[in-house]
Amino acid sequence: MTVPPRVRIVEVSPRDGLQNERATVDVATKLALIDALADAGAVTIEAGSFVAPKWVPQMADTDQVFARLDRRPGVTYQALVPNLQGVERALAAGVDEVAVFAAASETFSRKNTNGSIAEVMQRFLPVAARAQAAGVKVRGYISCVLGCPYEGEIDPAAVVRLAGDLIAMGCYEISLGDTIGVGTPTKARRLVEAVAGEVPIDRLALHFHDTYGQALANIFACLDFGVAVVDSAEAGHGGCPNVKGASGTVAKEDVVYMLHGMGIETGLDLARLCAAGKTISEALGRPTGSRVARAFG
């Protein structure tokens, strides 16, 4: 098995990890989490989202998070944006990068972004153009790549098409989201293989939620295609607010433990990650979702 020598971990904890939590997390706690991640060696941190506060109240204070960020050299602070209003807020806040998010399922697209897939992609065109004109890079997410909570099976061809369209729009990287964590290793491999026929492998990232406990196996199954970017959240918290029963992305501590054990570098300090996961779990009043963090105590 050939695996990449190094994997870049995209820290989605302050956004994906906190957007669906019942407990209110104040700005100071979010900033402490972001700093702890940077201290642990994180190079890409999704610090929040500039979405409609009515849709996701937990992210309403992202402007304040950016205003008070202790920016570390070499760290890219990214945020999710759904529309022009979002990108304007993001640029005013001084983001390093923005991320747009499409879905491979019509029903999910409407429930998460109040528009059909085509309408949402059309909405992103000026968003990407505005960001690029300001010198800000754009990342693209695709949700429901391995299944939809409303429509079930998703045709990989829909994912391939969207990935190509997002790249054509100027996205530098496509993050493949198994939003509800239903994928299994063979399916995940086939999907990545299909998308890699359209988008160079070094522009693909894996964003696997762990609802069914498959995320680590799915990541492992995709590594030997050369995918070298993995999204994950501290302690496995979070999930998408518009999906019932979906849990967080795979716990970062577990991904890092697996990768380091396979001799793959991440640049991250596992002990510090576990400490950061413990702190945010205490703030949320929830046990950690990381098996590795539990084992380390």
Q: Which residues are the active-site residues?
A: 240
179 counts as binding ligand HMG under rule CB under 6 A: yes
Least Å distance between CB 13 and Mg ion? 11
- Regarding 55 and contact with ligand HMG (CB under 6 A), the answer is yes
Residue from 25, 36, 77, 89 binding ligand HMG (CB under 6 A)? 89
Residue placing its CB nearer to ligand HMG in the complex, 249 or 288 = 249
CB-nearest residue to ligand HMG = 177
What are the residues whose beta carbons fall under 8 Å from the beta carbon of 25, sequence distance 6 or more? 18, 58, 283, 284
Rounded to the nearest whole angstrom, what is the least distance from the CB of residue 232 to ligand HMG in the complex? 11
Q: Which of 1, 2, 54, 245 binds ligand HMG (CB under 6 A)?
A: 54
One of 11, 16, 173, 178 touching Mg ion (CB under 5 A)? 16
- Find the part of the chain contacting ligand HMG (CB under 6 A) among 33-41, 84-92, 196-204, 289-297: 84-92
Cα–Cα distance measured from residue 181 to residue 249, given in angstroms and rounded to the nearest whole number = 8
Residue with smallest beta-carbon separation from Mg ion:
16
Which span sits near ligand HMG by CB under 6 A: 35-43, 78-86, 151-159, 212-220? 78-86
SS3 assignment for the chain: CCCCCECEEEECHHHHHCCCCCCCCCHHHHHHHHHHHHHCCCCEEEEEECCCCCCCHHHCCHHHHHHCCCCCCCCEEEEECCCHHHHHHHHHHCCCEEEEEEECCHHHHHHHHCCCHHHHHHHHHHHHHHHHHCCCEEEEEEECCCCECCCECCCHHHHHHHHHHHHHHCCCEEEEEECCCCCCHHHHHHHHHHHHCCCCHHHEEEEEECCCCCHHHHHHHHHCCCCCEEEEEHHHCCCCCCCCCCCCECEHHHHHHHHHHCCCECCCCHHHHHHHHHHHHHHHCCCCCCHHHHHHC
From ligand HMG, Mg ion, none, interface partner of 65 (C-beta below 5 to 8 A by class): none
Q: How far apart are CA 288 and CA 277, in angstroms?
A: 7
We find the least distance from the C-beta atom of residue 90 to ligand HMG, in angstroms, to be: 9
Q: How far is the CB of 118 from ligand HMG (least distance, A)?
A: 14
Q: Does 147 bind ligand HMG (CB under 6 A)?
A: no
112 touches which of ligand HMG, Mg ion, none (CB within 5 to 8 A by kind)? ligand HMG
Piece of the chain touching ligand HMG by CB under 6 A; list 110-118, 148-156, 215-223, 251-259: 110-118
* Interacting residues with ligand HMG (CB under 6 A): 16, 19, 49-56, 80, 82-83, 85-86, 89, 101, 112-114, 141, 143, 177, 179, 207, 209, 240-242
Give me the residues that bind Mg ion (CB under 5 A), please: 16
